[in-house]
């Protein structure tokens, strides 16, 4: 059985997962945007930067563009 109290965020550059965090704390959109922006500054890329955020069993996918910021793509 899945632990619904554990929140997870996975960060990707294209298909490469470069970071994963698990916590009982809330994961904010600001935190997601900060990590993706840091990755872009560290290594500018033409690959898409995106993250899956899973809170209480609900997953949201965000994409990041350095010019426009973070965008919620969909929830599943």
Q: 44-54, pLDDT tens digit by residue?
A: 776 789 999 99
CA distance 62 to 69: 10
Which residues 6+ apart lie within 8 Å of 16 measured at CB?
47
Phi, psi of 37, rounded to the nearest 5 degrees: -65, -40
Q: pLDDT of 47-76, one tens digit each?
A: 789 999 998 889 999 998 877 877 888 776
For residue 70, the model assigns a pLDDT of: 78
pTM of the model: 0.82
pLDDT tens string 14-54: 899 999 999 998 899 999 999 998 888 887 776 789 999 99
- Do 20 and 54 meet the contact criterion of CB atoms below 8 Å apart? no
């Amino acid at each position: 059985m899945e632990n619904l109290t554990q929140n997870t965020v996975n960060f990707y550059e294209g298909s490469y997962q470069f970071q994963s965090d698990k916590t009982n704390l809330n994961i904010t959109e600001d935190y997601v945007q900060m990590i993706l922006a840091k990755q872009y500054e560290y290594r500018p890329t033409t690959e898409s930067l995106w993250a899956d955020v899973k809170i209480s069993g609900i997953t949201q996918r965000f994409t990041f563009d350095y010019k426009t910021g973070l965008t919620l793509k969909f929830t599943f």
